[in-house]
Structure 1
Amino acid sequence: MIESVKRLERAGADFILIACNTAHFFLENVRHSTHIPIMNMPLETANYLNKHHYTSVGLLCTDGTLKTQLYQKACAHHKIDVMTPSENLQKNVMNGIYAVKAGKLSKGESELALAAEILINQGAEAIIAGCTEIPLVLRSTKDVKVIDPTVILAKEAVKLVYELEKLNI
């Protein structure tokens, strides 16, 4: 990742986005290797949740993202409770993610929808789709609001581009 960031810096990038949720675990180390800003997807997501007055959300993500507590730490800053699947339910989440990666979208959707429904029933106001594969099959319904960190990051990047243009940078 550091070499990729250095390559982008040499190419003249104004800022960097990292689309992979789990890769944000390495964000601070990568930031020390460059002078250009790197946007933080979990933090931007937490800011969005705070702005929209969420107090309790469910998190569906990979085991790696879950263990690193990227979203839990970012949301704690705003006193937003992040509910996570039980150990057994997390297996369904991973099965769903692997199914999507394998192109088995209906299997992936059923595994992930089950996990989302359980977290909603436990009190989550919305579900963070904390893996880029999840929003491919899990969408908001009348019962479940799905928060897509990739979309939030993209929208914030567009805002940043407009700000840089105003400053003629």
Structure 2
Amino acid sequence: MIGILAGMGPRSTAPFIDMVVTECQRQYGARDDIEFPKIMICSQPAPFYEDRPVDHDVLEAAIRVGLEDLERTGADLLAIACNTAHVYFPSLTEAVKPPLLDMVSLTAEAMPAAAGTLGLIAARPTVESEIYQGALAARGFDVVDVGWQGEVDRLLGLTRSSAGSAELAEAWRKIGLLLRRLGVDTAVVACLDLSAIRLHAPADLPVIDAAECLASEIVRRWLQLRDS
């Protein structure tokens, strides 16, 4: 059984599960209900606030509780549908017995060799942790570090206020313009809330989505477990 820790933010859970279902169809042609994997989902309330910094001790403890809950249900494979949570990956993977997938490493490994200058689009705590910048730089990629975080913060705020599609598209457009102006040829989306609204992003903006990388690996690893 697959265990997915989600709920960070709450609106990102359903779109992520949909990604996993799509991967089942893509990877092994799942069609009838019985052909899809059993998935236990924990939508974990987490201490993220718009008006204050992350308390890392409290956040890590909340994530650990969610993973332990999933482990108790009998999950054979664990994944966290939250990029910021991967700041604590080394300690979290030691806290549970089932294998825990590493979304950051999976995303770095999925980067096409032809990608040149990358732009990271993520929540502020993820950017400030530099987990993605480090993983991408280790594989030889140049990650532009400039001042578009304010626009990303605004876009994330819109996702929490149930903004209309026109507002979301305009916010994405501004980010896309900044990326192009700085010579970015590939955007790395490392935030589940942003993955959920990526349909509003400019169509000509090449994107590697960390959520898609994780969803793909969940299904690949589940198939290995199923067939072993």
SS in 2 for 1:17: strand
Gaps of 5+ in 2: 1-62
Tell me if 1:7 matches 2:7.
Answer: no
1:104 to partner: Cα distance: 0.9
CA offset digits 1:101-122 (Å, max 9, x no partner): 2111432332233123211331
Q: 1:85 aligns with which of 124, 138, 146?
A: 146
Considering only aligned residues, what root-mean-square deviation do their CA atoms show, in Å?
1.8
- The answer on whether the counterparts of 2:83 and 2:191 sit within 8 Å (CA) in structure 1 is yes
CA offset digits 1:77-113 (Å, max 9, x no partner): 2111122331xx2111101111112111432332233
SS in 2 for 1:133: helix
TM-score in terms of structure 2 length: 0.66
Aligned pairs for 1:21-36 within 5 A: 21-36=83-98
Aligned equivalents of 1:85, 1:132: Cα separation in 2: 21
CA offset digits 1:58-88 (Å, max 9, x no partner): 11111101100121111122111122331xx
Tell me if 1:56 matches 2:117.
Answer: yes
Q: Which is richer in strand? A: 2
User: Which residue of the partner structure matches residue 96 of structure 1?
Assistant: 155
TM-score in terms of structure 1 length: 0.87
Aligned equivalents of 1:95, 1:9: Cα separation in 2: 36
1:142 to partner: Cα distance: 5.2
One-letter amino acid of the counterpart of residue 65, structure 1: T
Q: 1:152 aligns with which of 213, 217, 220?
A: 213
Aligned equivalents of 2:85, 2:227: Cα separation in 1: 31
Gaps of 5+ in 1: none
**Size of the alignment, in residue pairs?**
164
Aligned equivalents of 1:141, 1:98: Cα separation in 2: 19
